[in-house]
Amino acid sequence: MLELIKFNARIWFFLGFVGCAFLLSMGAYFQFVDGLDPCPLCISQRLAILATGLVFLAAAIHNPGRIGINRYAVAGVVTALSGASISTRHVWLQHLPPDQVPECGPGLDYVLQNFPLTETIKMMLSGTGDCAKVDWTMLGFSMPAWTLLAFLMLATLSLLQIWNHDKNEIN
């Protein structure tokens, strides 16, 4: 059964990149077509998807040997789990009681122009009251919950590449 899905790592990394490109295109669709403005945590998740996609694309283009595949796999897991942690915080904020939701902060443009980069990153990763609002659901799950699932799937795909090789392959 496993032999049926045992493509080489280059194909799996490319499929991971396609998945990341799809996720980013869906984010763009919801923003520019449906008019849903992304909150700071949404933007942070998009950056994590972009970073994961770039790792996968680099691995697919490079087509490394065994050691390189392991390194790309670990890098993919780290970027995907970083995004998963951001998504987890976002889902947590959405499930807080209304009296415990943090206050809405200034817009990202204002923050970027008036605060140092480190403070801006801290504000983006902590989330605001805007992040607690659920604008869209599918099958009862919010967009951050689906993004969390996607990050976990990308991390799994990346991690599985460590074992996805021929036993005779040396490097």
pLDDT tens per residue across span 137-146: 789 899 999 9
Could you give the percent of the chain with pLDDT greater than 90?
48
**Whether pTM exceeds 0.75:** yes
Distance CA(82)–CA(124), nearest Å, equals: 14
Q: Is 63 helix (H, G, I), strand (E, B) or coil?
A: coil
Q: Largest Cα–Cα distance of the chain, in whole Å?
A: 60
Of residues 111 and 75, more confidence is placed in: 75
Token readout for 51 is: 């970073």
Confidence check: pLDDT of 14 > 70: yes
- Cβ atoms 88, 48 nearer than 8 A: no
Confidence check: pLDDT of 3 > 60: no
> What residue spans define the domains of the chain?
7-160
Token readout for 62 is: 């490079």
Which residue in 163, 153, 165 sits closest to 56, CA to CA? 153
Domain 7-160 in this protein, CATH class: mainly alpha
